[in-house]
Chains A and B, each alone.
Chain A
């Protein structure tokens, strides 16, 4: 019995030290709308986002605070490829990215291609 308790404790500690498996979130884009406009995720664990563009036009999935979005509204960068929180998803294709939100926070995700935000391409991510 004592041996069994020691083994159980070891498993729990090992589990706590091992890197957490990424959580998966899939967001589809159809008719220039995200399939969901609110995503809740746990803070402090990596989240793998899969963004699937079912439209025959390009879209973006840019996640950040309002200041970041304000910069992109006036931005001139045609394609986003080098930052994990800024994705360009070409027509009829899928992109993935993994992000970790260290603390509880609320961010917005949007498409900043001309007219797309106004058409409704925005959502909220809540990490808690």
Chain B
């Protein structure tokens, strides 16, 4: 039923005084609990009920350890090193290089009040842990493992944990990266495979640790088999703009498919580029996607809390059935009254 979406996340974060590494749609936690986030780029792929999440951690120099927390819509079945050019190729597709230079590929508390470690792996200088737990438990785990969470973290972690209690924590050791010979600008792409029927992209987490007026800029690329429906709508005034929206070209799909781990890319697709350009106080939502082009979930978009009146088809069906039953009872009572 599901078609394919491709999200790839490429993230360029840097700090004013300490250059650092970072992850895509994740909140970066630096030594002082706050960072300055420059424009980020994100891609995710969804095909046959599986979300392929590709994010890049870029080594921007400096020293020390940094961390990133990324909320996920489901439990990953695999976390591995991502392909070398997926992110760059998607950027080039929507922002064609005008010069004659050749393309530069390859350079680059309840039941959940305790944390369950679902997966641990190391990719280059990144120590990656996939966690399952409530917001408080994940926050406590992160604090205990050296993450210094900013002031808004408790609320943001609950915001995500109430919808999907799965988080990916990435700890980046800049000293280890330097020792490995990684140069400033080198990226470590990470490919997360997530079976889920409910794909969404975490956006609010990009504002983690920022003041209300701090800018947040990001690009999210979606590749779906058909034109998707998204929520919130890209109105511009809400900080979300649809910058590219057309059928994906065959050369793009061929190039993506030829990258490591990207064999799942289908023969046809629809490419959308969503541009986020707003401030931290406005970015209170995530990006919900309906790959069939119908109605994305308001809960997945963060516009409603779980358990609120998200009008799912099942809920509407049950409501209609209840109303029909009430009408039947009323008619029956009326007949009884008349016959009496």
Query: Do the two chains bind?
Result: yes
Q: A91-B143, A92-B140 are in contact. Are A56 and B154 (CB under 8 A)?
A: yes
- Convert B128-157 into 0s and 1s, putting 1 for each residue whose CB lies closer than 8 angstroms to a CB of A: 000000011111101100000111111101
Main secondary structure of the interface of B (DSSP, over half): helix
Q: Are A56 and B136 in contact (CB under 8 A)?
A: yes
**From B142, which residue of chain A is reached at the shortest CB distance?**
A56
Q: Are B209 and A55 in contact (CB under 8 A)?
A: no
Least CB distance, B99 to chain A, in whole angstroms: 42
Q: Which of B32, B34, B153, B158 is A57 in contact with, Cβ under 8 Å? A: B153
Query: How distant is the Cα of A119 from the Cα of B149 in the complex, in angstroms?
Result: 13
What's the count of A-B pairs with C-beta under 8 Å? 56
Indicate whether B261 reaches chain A with its CB closer than 8 angstroms: no
Query: How distant is the Cα of A30 from the Cα of B157 in the complex, in angstroms?
Result: 13
Q: Are A32 and B143 in contact (CB under 8 A)?
A: no
Interface size of A by Cβ–Cβ distance < 8 Å?
Answer: 17
Least CB distance, A28 to chain B, in whole angstroms: 13
Indicate whether A121 reaches chain B with its CB closer than 8 angstroms: yes
Q: Which residues 104-128 of A sit at the B interface, judged by CB distance below 8 A?
A: 113-116, 118-119, 121
Query: How distant is the Cα of A58 from the Cα of B171 in the complex, in angstroms?
Result: 20
**From A119, which residue of chain B is reached at the shortest CB distance?**
B151
Indicate whether B239 reaches chain A with its CB closer than 8 angstroms: no
Say which size band chain B's interface belongs to: 20 to 34
Q: A56-B136, A56-B149, A91-B143 are in contact. Are A31 and B154 (CB under 8 A)?
A: yes
Q: Which of A32, A115, A118 is B154 in contact with, Cβ under 8 Å? A: A32
Q: Are A57 and B143 in contact (CB under 8 A)?
A: yes
Query: How distant is the Cα of A57 from the Cα of B147 in the complex, in angstroms?
Result: 10
Indicate whether B211 reaches chain A with its CB closer than 8 angstroms: yes
Main secondary structure of the interface of A (DSSP, over half): loop
Q: Are B152 and A56 in contact (CB under 8 A)?
A: no
Query: How distant is the Cα of A119 from the Cα of B156 in the complex, in angstroms?
Result: 13
Q: Are B151 and A113 in contact (CB under 8 A)?
A: yes
Indicate whether B33 reaches chain A with its CB closer than 8 angstroms: yes
- Convert B1-36 into 0s and 1s, putting 1 for each residue whose CB lies closer than 8 angstroms to a CB of A: 000000000000000000000000000000011100
Query: How distant is the Cα of A107 from the Cα of B216 in the complex, in angstroms?
Result: 36
Q: Are B139 and A114 in contact (CB under 8 A)?
A: no
Query: How distant is the Cα of A56 from the Cα of B115 in the complex, in angstroms?
Result: 12
Query: How distant is the Cα of A56 from the Cα of B153 in the complex, in angstroms?
Result: 9
Q: Are A32 and B152 in contact (CB under 8 A)?
A: yes
Q: Are B151 and A91 in contact (CB under 8 A)?
A: no
Q: Are A55 and B32 in contact (CB under 8 A)?
A: no
Q: Are B139 and A56 in contact (CB under 8 A)?
A: yes
Q: A32-B152, A56-B154 are in contact. Are A115 and B139 (CB under 8 A)?
A: no
**From B140, which residue of chain A is reached at the shortest CB distance?**
A56
Q: A31-B154, A56-B149, A57-B154 are in contact. Are A114 and B34 (CB under 8 A)?
A: yes
Q: Are B157 and A114 in contact (CB under 8 A)?
A: no
Query: How distant is the Cα of A3 from the Cα of B253 in the complex, in angstroms?
Result: 103
Residues of A near B140 (CB, < 8 A) are: 56, 91-92
Q: Are A119 and B154 in contact (CB under 8 A)?
A: no
Q: Which of B32, B142, B151 is A32 in contact with, Cβ under 8 Å? A: B151
Least CB distance, B64 to chain A, in whole angstroms: 15
Q: Are A56 and B33 in contact (CB under 8 A)?
A: no
Query: How distant is the Cα of A114 from the Cα of B139 in the complex, in angstroms?
Result: 17
Q: Which residues 240-289 of B sit at the A interface, judged by CB distance below 8 A?
A: none
Query: How distant is the Cα of A76 from the Cα of B143 in the complex, in angstroms?
Result: 19
Q: Are B154 and A55 in contact (CB under 8 A)?
A: yes
Residues of B near A55 (CB, < 8 A) are: 136, 139, 154
Q: Are A91 and B139 in contact (CB under 8 A)?
A: yes
Q: Are B32 and A114 in contact (CB under 8 A)?
A: yes
Q: Which residues 17-73 of B sit at the A interface, judged by CB distance below 8 A?
A: 32-34
Residues of B near A119 (CB, < 8 A) are: 151-152
Q: A114-B32, A114-B33, A114-B34 are in contact. Are A57 and B152 (CB under 8 A)?
A: no
10 contacts between A and B (CB under 8 A): A31-B152, A32-B155, A56-B137, A56-B139, A57-B151, A58-B143, A114-B32, A116-B151, A118-B151, A119-B151
Leading 7 A-B pairs by shortest Cβ distance: A56-B139, A119-B151, A32-B151, A56-B140, A31-B155, A55-B154, A56-B136
> A residues within 8 Å of B by Cβ?
30-32, 54-58, 91-92, 113-116, 118-119, 121
Q: Give 5 A-B pairs besides A55-B154, A57-B149, A121-B151 with Cβ atoms closer than 8 angstroms.
A: A56-B154, A113-B151, A114-B33, A114-B150, A115-B32
